[in-house]
Amino acid sequence: MIGHGAADRIRVRIGAAIVERVAGPSGQARQRLSRQDAEDRWFTDDRPIRRVHGDSSMFIGGIRALLLQSLHPLAMAAVAGHSGYRSDPWGRLQRTSYFLAATTFGRTSDAREAIDRVRAVHQQVTGIAPGGRPYAASDPHLLTWVHIAEADSFLRAHARFGAFPLDQEGRDGYVADMARIAVELGVPDPPRTEAELADRIAKYRAELTATSQAREAARFLLLSPPLPLIARAPYGMLAAGAVSLLPGWARQPLRLPRLPLTESLIVRPAGHAMVHAIRWATTAPAPAP
């Protein structure tokens, strides 16, 4: 039987490994962002965005966001042409992780530095999509799509798999919190309530389709991520949870099946179990008496 001290050491090692993969080699330093003084931060401790972005359900929300975002042909062309998601998928995840940590938990200076860095990168991301249309990552219309896909995905993942799901006021507050970050990134008039978020997504549906690039990215993300064999099954549970949160109109063009009974009896419980395991592994144990 493993003693309490040994279990805590194993727990810390597992948590450190997860943080390093998601947040990079400097992940432990980045964790300090969440321990900054309450003064001079965009969001106080009681804001919904801190509850959502501090929960392990973000692992599922992040996968769903990538799948949903890929349905806009211009956004997908920008990702395929500039993100290096195949050659450096974890690097992209780590940069996104740090951006969310800096803007949600960091000081105002941390948040503004992260915003400036992203805006500078966006200025360099331009090109021509396979269909012949030009794209630019700084285009406010594309920025809005990326933003609302993320906000919707993080919120839905937290509502389904989060430790303490938000009530309606909290969900509206989360969308409003995300709007503050979006404005700084250059999104014009982002939605500020859950209803506005749903309405804005509906207005984009006529533009959405699954290109060959989008389906290829989905296969890579769901079936062949660069992970050691031992991590494939746990990741598969998270990925299946993400797919279960996609609406039918998003699944069909990506050729992702809908299996209601399987999702209800297997996928959702497995997703809960994996999110709980990650939450346990990444939560520091209580100090010894």
Query: What share of the chain has pLDDT > 90, as a percent?
Result: 57
Of 97, 101, 96, the C-alpha closest to 121 is 96
pLDDT number for residue 260:
64
- Arithmetic mean of pLDDT, 81-90: 68
Query: Residue 127 in 3-state DSSP?
Result: strand
pLDDT score, position 199: 98
| Residue 100 CB burial class (10 angstroms; 0-12, 13-18, ≥19) | buried
The answer to whether residues 64 and 246 touch, using CB atoms and an 8 Å cutoff, is: yes
- pLDDT exceeds cutoff 80 at 104: yes
* DSSP one-letter code for 107: B
Bigger pLDDT: 204 vs 225: 204
How many CA atoms does the CB half-sphere of 62 hold within 13 Å? Answer: 22
CA 133 to chain centre: 27
Between the alpha carbon of residue 127 and those of residues 81, 88, 131, the distances in Å are 8, 20, 11
The pLDDT confidence band at residue 227, using thresholds 50, 70 and 90, is confident
Domain residue extents for the chain: 4-282
Chain centroid offset of residue 79 CA: 15
C-alpha span between 195 and 205 (Å, rounded) = 16
Q: Over pLDDT 70: what percentage of the chain? A: 76
5 pLDDT higher than 90: no
pLDDT confidence of 64, banded at 50, 70, 90? very high
- Angle formed by the axes of helices 168-185 and 194-204, to 10°? 60
3-state secondary structure 209-236: CCCHHHHHHHHHHHHCCCCCHHHHHHHH
Rounded to the nearest angstrom, the gap between the alpha carbon of residue 8 and the centroid of all alpha carbons in its chain is 28
Q: What is the pLDDT of residue 221?
A: 86
